Structures are given as C-alpha cells and as structure tokens.
Amino acid sequence: MNLRLCAAAILSLLTISSVQAQVRAPSRLPDPRTEFVRQCAPRMLGRWEHPEEVCGCLHDHAAAVVEDRDLREALLRGISETGVPTIETDWVPAAKQSEIGATFTKIAKPTLQCMFDPAKS
C-alpha cells in the first residue's frame, strides 16, 4: 500500500512539475518587426550608413501606410529579399494585383524619407 501511495505521489509531482515548466516557459515567437529588420539589414549593408535604422523605418513608416494585409506582406517580403521596395505580382492575390501601382505611389514619400533621413521619420 505504501509503495502505491509513494508511486502516486511521485507521479503527481512529476505531472505538476511538467505543467509548471510549460507555464513558465512559453514558446517565444519572433517579433515580426525584429525578424523583418534581421532579414532586411544585410541587404542594406554598403548602401546605407545605418541599415537597421533604414529597415526599421521602412517597416514602421513606409509599409505601415499600406492598409491591405496582402499588399503589405508582399511589400515587406520584397524589401527584406531585395533591399528595395518591390512587389512581385505572384506574391499578391490576382484580385489585388491592380493595386500594386497605387501602393507604390502611397509609399513613395515615406520610403524616400526612410532611405535618406530615417531619423526624421
């Protein structure tokens, strides 16, 4: 009887410890902005004096003016992959491809501001 009681106590302690460990250590998802800057900055090296600043500014100001999620994600992908604002048509649903030109018009001013004077954005 004592053996069963001890085994049950040990099993319950292990279960409680396991649950507490899961509660204390939630999975850490990368911050989307930080991940974008991490991917973007190497593309900006040699072009700009402070690549992280330029990438952060593009994320926070240029891409932020794009309300449509699909267009915004495509723009962020283009910047992080090429180092310049670009959107490939196959990155955007067919129904929204006609909005790509207007999106570039919308981001022109904040993009130039980010690239040439990111501290003022």
Contacts of 100 (CB under 8 A, 6+ apart): 71, 87, 89, 92
pLDDT in tens, 70-117: 999 999 999 999 999 999 999 999 999 999 999 999 999 999 999 888
- Helix, strand, coil fractions of the chain, as percent rounded to 5: 80, 0, 20
According to the model, what pLDDT value does residue 6 have? Answer: 46
Short-list 106, 112, 108, CA closest to 65: 106
Q: What is the DSSP letter of 19?
A: H
Q: How far apart are CA 101 and CA 4, in angstroms?
A: 73
The DSSP H or E segment spanning 107 is helix 100-116
> What residues does each domain of the chain span?
32-116
Q: What Cα–Cα distance (Å) separates residue 27 from each residue in 17, 36, 48?
A: 17, 19, 35
pLDDT in tens, 8-37: 445 454 455 554 445 555 567 678 999 999
